[in-house]
Amino acid sequence: GAVVSQHPSWVICKSGTSVKIECRSLDFQATTMFWYRQFPKQSLMLMATSNEGSKATYEQGVEKDKFLINHASLTLSTLTVTSAHPEDSSFYICSAIKALDNSPLHFGNGTRLTVT
Amino acid sequence: AQKITQTQPGMFVQEKEAVTLDCTYDTSDPSYGLFWYKQPSSGEMIFLIYQGSYDQQNATEGRYSLNFQKARKSANLVISASQLGDSAMYFCAMRDTGTASKLTFGTGTRLQVTL
């Protein structure tokens, strides 16, 4: 149980275009989802916390207008990288939680974004 | 602010041997949770083990055990009987009640299991 699906697993786009990444909880309802970014050989850095039906909470230094997050249902959150630039190339990974207790976060398989 | 420290960027262990991956943490919150995740080269994050700050006993999950020393603020992961498939990055993470369930990750340790 507790499967999180992330799509696409990899994407290549040109500078200036936008890319949408989907994160779905397949067998549970996730009131909260998290979006992380991981640069090569580095740790996961939290970008934003996404709550169903409300605006996302962004971490300091993350541009909310560039990384648009929508959490329209209890099973789907999307991250849109707008006007992508090469420096946005990274591994983006989402996670979802079943309950606000000590349950582990369940992660999607990640999306490798390359901006050319 | 909470902080997670993993001081071993890389570790080698021989197959079938045990290995300890270090993790220390810092938080002012009395209630917190500590997690270990495995990240193979494919990128997915695999949950391994959890330890709550109020848990009296060290957590164990199969070949994984957590050596929790609260006074020292350490939560080391012990992998027994290492297997080649254990080669991966390992991340220690913490969540406290002040962070709305979000995890803060350490920098990770790359484990290489050799024959």
pLDDT values of chain B reduced to their tens digit, one per residue, 115 residues? 669 999 999 999 999 999 999 999 998 888 899 999 999 999 999 999 999 999 999 999 999 999 999 999 999 999 999 999 999 999 999 987 666 678 899 999 999 999 9
pLDDT in tens, B97-107: 666 678 899 99
Nearest to A110 among B44, B50, B106 (CB): B44
Q: Which residues of B touch A104 (CB under 8 A)?
A: 35, 47, 50
Q: Are A86 and A15 in contact (CB under 8 A)?
A: yes
Calpha distance B53→A100 (Å, rounded): 16
Average pLDDT over residues A30-54: 90
Question: In this model, does residue A72 exceed pLDDT 90?
Answer: no
Largest CA distance in chain B: 44
Average pLDDT over residues A63-83: 93
A vs B, Cβ pairs < 8 A, gives: 54
Report CB contact under 8 Å: A104, B104. no
Nearest to B102 among A34, A102, A106 (CB): A34
Q: A16 φ, ψ to 5°?
A: 95, -15
